[in-house]
Structure 1
């Protein structure tokens, strides 16, 4: 691995989120230095480059905080973490979910009835529609994002409507995820990777980075990957193609960057999620390497996406920026909706086909400056953003009355039935069924007091949400929604002694308001945006080579219920919790990463009080991760790795009668770095679910639904990377 050491200015004021290393280049004439040019290759075209890597190289010292830009972890009045490319490579992560297996506050689930990755942060769902790419929502593939595209994965824990604006998919209550693209470093890079995993899945990838032009001001980073073959699940196969180009230019007082990407994925006979019939006990988990999928099912997704970003120095400590992005996506699926009807594994299936096409356009502009009024410092930020998406959908269902009879433990594979029992639109020519338009503007001031030992942040964002829905067959508008809301933030960081930061915050989440539907008297009524309120206090300790964080939080989110045939926002989900994390290198050659999360997710003011006080669907009370990466003494280049993930039991129904057992998963691995002539060769091996534990990995993810996802089987992955 080639390690690039980034530069870091003492202030994060003039930075926008950053994503590549920085170094100094010095030109000479006849042996005498004539100029020194600092080139900062940055994903967001900012002046600073990546925040520094923390001891051990697995996480960074900070990351993006929306309009506040990049902020060091000890100056941040929130709980956030940034996973580095070194961690992504060393763990052979294939996608975002693999990276987030390291996070004790996150559990990975799945979308409702499909194979879309979904991330549960602090007990609230963040679906992949709401992933940010270099700070912009909606630009990446919806189902799965390949890890080869990424320099860093930044996880913000907590509500964030002020920082990032309302998420278009309704997330942003328990947290957000920003994915940082790769940029060319200051050293030439040519890396070729080949590997194989259980089931015969093969991978080939290339990663090329170059800087060129006057003083190496221009950079290009090219990544391409191909995966093809069976998986560790019987009968399942996967094809994935990815290509991406990242460009940047440093013009001195201005900086430009751009990204272009393409991803094409196809799953054949993918194992579906399992819904539970009312009143049955949760069936024991089937064999993790088995499948109850039908051989004729598949899921296909193809996306093209791109961004362009620029930053201009207006004056000393004053910078303006602008960013724009677009995505075009197309999906087609032939799936089965699967419901377990008995604890003995009896189940019914029916066919469900759908087609979807998405067009997304998004952008932001902003300015940030720094000034002083006497002994008080100010970091002022202002931004305006816009987002627009159009979705074209169609579906066709098979007979969902007379379903296909099967069993989770002894599945039946039948001929594909017709999908004409109930339809909406044409699968070969879907019409526009929804449009979403978001716009916002925000201002913030971070005030530095007492020699910057006290940092106070206040701000306000005005958000407007417009949403339109149309008939699947005719395309005629059926409803529209246009509402706005102000979302504030107030936060403080106090540094009583070196290496210790205490913080507190109040911040809100914002979701599009719901509309009354079903057998209610106020059908069609549309409600104002739903506001979730978060209060949090925490502490962070930086010992130099190892860091610790602790946070205590409470977040309340309104829930829709029906009372006396009237639909309204009468209920509430209240999540309270404690987060503990550790990261870094406490001993030379030993890297640790992990923590624990304790959650109390309670239903309140439910319909008729029937489930008041019950646990929320799919939220365990305890979850813990601990990972270690150890350089073996006396064997140069050899490292052993291990990770243990624990998730407590959770419920799949609001009445808390269907309990999903707790589970523990152990992953093991090894890495060896050597030289082949003048080249560096890195060999990596990983054994996921090393003890082959069969388990239900998650319950639900979509509001009010408790469908189960079977955990991945024991999977062996081996690869080699040769750097030229």
Structure 2
């Protein structure tokens, strides 16, 4: 039994806007309010995550999502997992509270080691990524081979840092979330020297975590300093360092109870099954630093050199429910609500990353056509150091959290390390074929050293046509690549062998509309990704099975987005229809199956109201719908869909010479109970409940 349990676990766990300002001056106890109305268009969202420079998202032949710090604050989002509430194409994928975030885009789970970037350079996202020093989150939807080399086909996430903007400004923030979480943060920017020679920006935050989930008290903090120095026309050096810490017990999921999927009403969503007297928090400590040199070469060209290092340390500990030995089921809990409980401890995990790049960007005219070019090289080096771990049976627990068992902390095995290196050459070209028609080209060549050598080239091409000043149509095709190795287990005849590169392919057709007071988009996509299977008996006997490529996953879908404003009312929404299926497998019983934990219908909407009688006030109502998800890979069980509603309000005012913003909100207003997601991890079913109704409020002052 231990062998069966241990192997899977080792796998590791904007339209026209009118802004009204109310300026308040103090004179004794009386206050005079001066109302100023400014009408204008906001700076358009950019699609920088795709690597084609400052192309407005409305003019780009790909689907992107840009989430600013202000939009994250309005929604009360403090972690990367929270962005799933803001777009229909982005969903949860084993998002355990207290643990690192994992996202699904267009039905594919992102690889936390290859699909997440920080200012355009790859990082490991197997840690707590704090957002207090992030200016925005950029998300590219679809195959990302031209942007990231090896990566899962769902998309790409880029975290953009807050950097000096050339102003003397300070922002103070204090927030509270039910039932007793407090956060305080500062953002201080100063300019030193003449002609904006040196800019500094300090971000610091501390948070005491006491969420509505019981037995999950924790804390987190961040300290980040960025600097920008200008040495002459077109010369700039950016440097920054970030120190982050999070300590909080994580929450294991619920599961099937014998043959059935329990109703979410059978459990208390505030109960944390990691509630043993010996339970320890998961601790994430990170140090990340980077340098970037930018040199202008005339008016149209620039060269950029950047480098980044990331040092992560993790203490991963949990009282982990896994299977039911009493009934001989190791993928779910027992029929009576009991389960086998394990003492898992992985102390002093160390991850080290280095990434660097050199690229040349510019514009020129060749062959009578204007070109916007970007070409360069990136390097990356990632190391996961070996460590000692414990994974020991400790006793039998229950889903009501009522049973206490003895700890079993004795280290039992050595976890292997990993070393990955890559060198990638790329070229991207935006060609203006005519006044309204553009050609977009991307090509990336990757060379990998991961204990084995592998190389491949991933192309991407798109054609866009501006039908008129507001309507654009486009089509694109591209490839992505993943690299896979057969596990080094004696059960495989080809243990440790490198499989052929797993090439995913995506075709996309899209329509984008951007007018004075509203915008909309529609995209149809078709993604095909190779799959692997184990052929043979695959039991505990030596050489009982062989792993190989076996058909693939086919995700066909349509995304729709819209945003508009009519007088004092605004509406923003997104929807996705997805047909995700297994195809071409040697075993015909697998073909036509839907992947576990993938909702094939989703809608997210937000309506806002800005009453003229109360300048600076905005009320918002949000709706989040997720369709049913299958629980088991064979599609024999599923969880129902769910809908939640939220309310929030923001009041912005200028008073006493400063800008103030007060926010308040309630999530899951009607306290809906349901299963939020159903990840199938480590060959085991897990179920995570919706967060119960939660209140939050905050106050922000800009001085």
* Alignment equivalent of 2:396, drawn from 392, 400, 405: 405
Secondary structure, counterpart of 1:62 in structure 2: coil
Query: Are the structure 2 counterparts of residues 686 and 232 from structure 1 closer, same or farther at C-alpha, using a change threshold of 3 Å?
Result: same
1:289 CA drift (Å) = 2.3
1:255 CA drift (Å) = 2.1
1:90 CA drift (Å) = 2.5
Q: Which residue of 2 aligns with 1:365?
A: 358
1:40-73, Cα deviation, whole Å (9 max, x unpaired): xxxxxxxxxxxxxx9886x942121444223211
* Alignment equivalent of 1:352, drawn from 334, 344, 351: 344
CA contact (8 A) 2:625 2:642 kept: yes
1:564-643 aligned at under 5 Å gives the runs: 564=536, 565-583=545-563, 585-643=564-622
Q: Is 2:295 the counterpart of 1:312? A: yes
1:644 CA drift (Å) = 0.9
Q: Distance in 2 between matches of 1:288 and 1:615?
A: 27
Q: Which residue of 1 aligns with 2:145?
A: 161
CA contact (8 A) 1:516 1:526 kept: no
* Alignment equivalent of 1:216, drawn from 196, 215, 227: 196
1:334-385, Cα deviation, whole Å (9 max, x unpaired): 2132244245533332111113111110011111222223542122221101
CA contact (8 A) 1:357 1:392 kept: yes
1:209-244, Cα deviation, whole Å (9 max, x unpaired): 223322224322111111014111122212001111
Query: Are the structure 2 counterparts of residues 207 and 132 from structure 1 closer, same or farther at C-alpha, using a change threshold of 3 Å?
Result: same
Query: Are the structure 2 counterparts of residues 440 and 103 from structure 1 closer, same or farther at C-alpha, using a change threshold of 3 Å?
Result: same
Q: Distance in 1 between matches of 2:575 and 2:665?
A: 24
Structure 2 gaps of 5+ residues are 1-38, 323-331, 537-544
CA contact (8 A) 1:385 1:441 kept: yes
TM norm structure 1: 0.84
Q: Distance in 1 between matches of 2:391 and 2:67?
A: 43
Query: Are the structure 2 counterparts of residues 150 and 454 from structure 1 closer, same or farther at C-alpha, using a change threshold of 3 Å?
Result: same
TM norm structure 2: 0.86
Query: Are the structure 2 counterparts of residues 721 and 656 from structure 1 closer, same or farther at C-alpha, using a change threshold of 3 Å?
Result: same
Q: Distance in 1 between matches of 2:681 and 2:392?
A: 24
Q: Distance in 2 between matches of 1:290 and 1:273?
A: 10
Secondary structure, counterpart of 1:719 in structure 2: strand
Query: Are the structure 2 counterparts of residues 278 and 609 from structure 1 closer, same or farther at C-alpha, using a change threshold of 3 Å?
Result: farther
CA contact (8 A) 1:436 1:465 kept: yes
CA contact (8 A) 2:201 2:226 kept: yes
Structure 1 gaps of 5+ residues are 1-53, 426-431, 468-479
Q: Distance in 2 between matches of 1:377 and 1:249?
A: 32
Secondary structure, counterpart of 1:99 in structure 2: helix
1:415 CA drift (Å) = 4.3
1:16-415 aligned at under 5 Å gives the runs: 60-110=44-94, 115-129=99-113, 130-138=115-123, 142-167=126-151, 171=152, 173-250=153-230, 251-268=232-249, 270-276=250-256, 279-284=259-264, 286-295=267-276, 296-339=279-322, 340-342=332-334, 345-355=337-347, 356-373=349-366, 375-400=368-393, 404-408=395-399, 410-415=400-405
CA contact (8 A) 1:326 1:360 kept: yes
1:544 CA drift (Å) = 2.5
Q: Which residue of 1 aligns with 2:530?
A: 558
Aligned length: 642
Query: Are the structure 2 counterparts of residues 55 and 334 from structure 1 closer, same or farther at C-alpha, using a change threshold of 3 Å?
Result: farther
Q: Is 2:459 the counterpart of 1:488? A: yes
Query: Are the structure 2 counterparts of residues 275 and 108 from structure 1 closer, same or farther at C-alpha, using a change threshold of 3 Å?
Result: same
1:125 CA drift (Å) = 0.9
1:271 CA drift (Å) = 2.0
CA contact (8 A) 1:109 1:697 kept: no
1:174 CA drift (Å) = 0.6
Secondary structure, counterpart of 1:522 in structure 2: coil
1:372-431, Cα deviation, whole Å (9 max, x unpaired): 23542122221101100111243533434xx632332x2224144213373226xxxxxx
Query: Are the structure 2 counterparts of residues 98 and 722 from structure 1 closer, same or farther at C-alpha, using a change threshold of 3 Å?
Result: same
Q: Distance in 2 between matches of 1:397 and 1:279?
A: 30
Secondary structure, counterpart of 2:110 in structure 1: strand
Q: Which residue of 1 aligns with 2:676?
A: 697
CA contact (8 A) 2:222 2:243 kept: yes
1:313-333, Cα deviation, whole Å (9 max, x unpaired): 223312111110001110002
Secondary structure, counterpart of 1:89 in structure 2: helix
Root mean square deviation, CA, Å = 2.5
The answer to which of 442-451 and 111-120 deviates more is 111-120
Q: Is 2:511 the counterpart of 1:539? A: yes
CA contact (8 A) 1:396 1:419 kept: no
CA contact (8 A) 2:603 2:624 kept: yes
Q: Distance in 2 between matches of 1:137 and 1:245?
A: 20
